[in-house]
Amino acid sequence: MFEQTLRFPCPSCKEIISDSAEQCKYCGAPIDKGVAQAAAEVQSKVNQAYSDASYLKTAAFTLWGVLAASIIPFIAFISYASIFIFFTLIFLIIRWQLRFSNINTADPDYQKAKRSKNIALLLWAASIPGFIFREIFFLILRNSFN
């Protein structure tokens, strides 16, 4: 049976090691299988939190890009795209919060992931007045043509 190797920081020296080793190859500390398994699980959760948060940040910037582009009138598809991204983004932010907000780790990547998620949330919230501004802009535009 193929056994998956997980990587995690050594409990004593913090170097990244594999959980299949009997002892740390950097500091020689013995590795308890249970501890290694738990640490590896935390590590893979942190990695997932990190890549998901980077994705959230990218999606938030995309929301703003699409919102700005939708100022160009008569391209309804971009306008729909901005609304779609708006709702998808808040759904994904809430999901991130539920899955990853309580990881007990000192990993600096986890702090970076939290920061990325907060930036995404801020950009999302700030897009609400952006949407209102866009509607006012369209209203003025329509009235000036009538």
* Interaction site with Zn ion (CB under 5 A): 10, 12-13, 24, 26-27, 29
Q: Which amino acid is at 30?
A: P
Contact 141/73 with Cβ under 8 angstroms?
Answer: yes
Nearer to Zn ion, 29 or 136 (CB): 29
Nearer to Zn ion, 29 or 140 (CB): 29
Shortest distance in whole angstroms from residue 50 CB to Zn ion: 22
Shortest distance in whole angstroms from residue 26 CB to Zn ion: 4
Contact 21/69 with Cβ under 8 angstroms?
Answer: no
Shortest distance in whole angstroms from residue 112 CB to Zn ion: 23
Helix axes 33-69, 108-145, angle to 10 degrees: 20
Shortest distance in whole angstroms from residue 15 CB to Zn ion: 5
Nearer to Zn ion, 12 or 51 (CB): 12
Angle at 25 between CA 20 and CA 29, to 5 degrees: 85
Token digits of residue 53: 């948060």
Distance CA 90, CA 88 (A): 6
Nearer to Zn ion, 27 or 122 (CB): 27
